[in-house]
Structure 1
Amino acid sequence: MQIYDILPDLSRTKHLPGSNQSLLLSNEKPVLVIFWSVSCSSCGYFLRKLDAIPEIKSKKVIPILIHTHLEGEQVSLSAIKNKLNQLHIEGVYLDDVTDQLTNIFQFRYVPALYLFDKQEKLRFKQIGKTSTNLIEQRLRRLINTK
């Protein structure tokens, strides 16, 4: 996925319990897509840091958390639900069991983050260890653009 690519259709991806699907109906908000995995320790740390970003807490951005299964990983639905319950990010929760989205977004490491503007065009991506400060700056810039 390259800068200015359009957000792919996520409607056919398996939704996880606790997912707030109504957020997908919110137009005119930036979308933050995060690929993560239960077995990724830096993913858990990163998601906890994201929860502290004011633009996410105030729902000025739509967070979409997509659980991806690492190669050879056998993860139960209850393990994914437990990890999501530990987080306090209200968002859309998806499970990419078939690797359909992983193939579309073309990343190799988690966490993988993609920030789409209000018109659903990719404006920023970061794969692997990420900086929440940089993400916060990008979010502010996107929210404040007309």
Structure 2
Amino acid sequence: MKLRTPMPELTGSTAWLNGEVTTSELVGEKPTLIHFWSISCGLCKEAMPNVNDFRDQYKDELNVVAVHMPRSEKDVDLEEIKKVAAEHDITQPIFVDSELKLTDVFENQYVPAYYVFDKDGQLRHFQAGGSGMKMLEKRVNRVLDEMRNAE
């Protein structure tokens, strides 16, 4: 997905956990972080406390949505996804993408992967891999600062 691409519709899930959100609910008021993860991904589990800290620190200024992207047949077990999500305190809405429909729309090949959209729904930053939370925070803050300065 190229920078400045509009946020796609969040459709095609096999399930939603922790509530369902739509693109139209996410766009307009505040930026959105969409992060892809998988229950079989060690890097995802290592990064999750950072993502959760981020979610909690910016809860009033940033939407956070998780997308569970399976990497193998075993990764589509909904009960296991629920269990791992609970173990790692993933309380934000989780789009369960067992058929890879949203993954394909995003053209995403990585977990973990992070997509930062500005409040108008334009993709402003993409990052993949377990490291680089400082860079992600810098990018999110840049988008938040633009929003604050525009008010």
Judge same fold: TM > 0.5, yes or no: yes
How has the CA–CA distance of structure 1 residues 111 and 123 changed in structure 2, closer, same or farther, with 3 Å as cutoff?
A: same
How has the CA–CA distance of structure 1 residues 111 and 102 changed in structure 2, closer, same or farther, with 3 Å as cutoff?
A: same
Could you tell me the TM-score, scaled by structure 1's length? 0.86
Structure 1 residue 55: deviation in Å?
A: 6.4
Is the contact between residue 112 and residue 126 of structure 1 (CA under 8 Å) also seen in structure 2? Answer: yes
Number of paired residues? 146
Q: Are 1:108 and 2:114 an aligned pair?
A: no
Q: 1:122: which partner in 2?
A: 123
Is the contact between residue 20 and residue 90 of structure 1 (CA under 8 Å) also seen in structure 2? Answer: no
Q: 2:61: which partner in 1?
A: 60
In 1, distance between residues paired with 2:32 and 2:138? 15
Q: 1:21: which partner in 2?
A: 21
Q: 2:96: which partner in 1?
A: 95
How has the CA–CA distance of structure 1 residues 18 and 92 changed in structure 2, closer, same or farther, with 3 Å as cutoff?
A: closer
Give secondary structure in 2 for the equivalent of 1:143.
helix
Q: Which structure shows the higher helix fraction?
A: 2
After superposition, the CA RMSD in angstroms is 2.3
Q: Are 1:44 and 2:35 an aligned pair?
A: no
Bigger drift between 71-80 and 16-25 goes to 16-25
Identity rate, percent = 26
Could you tell me the TM-score, scaled by structure 2's length? 0.84
Give secondary structure in 2 for the equivalent of 1:16.
strand
Structure 1 residue 13: deviation in Å?
A: 2.4
Bigger drift between 125-134 and 22-31 goes to 22-31
In 1, distance between residues paired with 2:132 and 2:140? 13
Is the contact between residue 13 and residue 97 of structure 2 (CA under 8 Å) also seen in structure 1? Answer: yes
Is the contact between residue 65 and residue 95 of structure 2 (CA under 8 Å) also seen in structure 1? Answer: yes
How has the CA–CA distance of structure 1 residues 53 and 83 changed in structure 2, closer, same or farther, with 3 Å as cutoff?
A: same
Give secondary structure in 2 for the equivalent of 1:5.
coil
Instruction: Flag structure 2 segments of 5+ consecutive residues without an equivalent.
Output: none
Is the contact between residue 38 and residue 75 of structure 2 (CA under 8 Å) also seen in structure 1? Answer: no
Q: 1:144: which partner in 2?
A: 145
Instruction: Flag structure 1 segments of 5+ consecutive residues without an equivalent.
Output: none
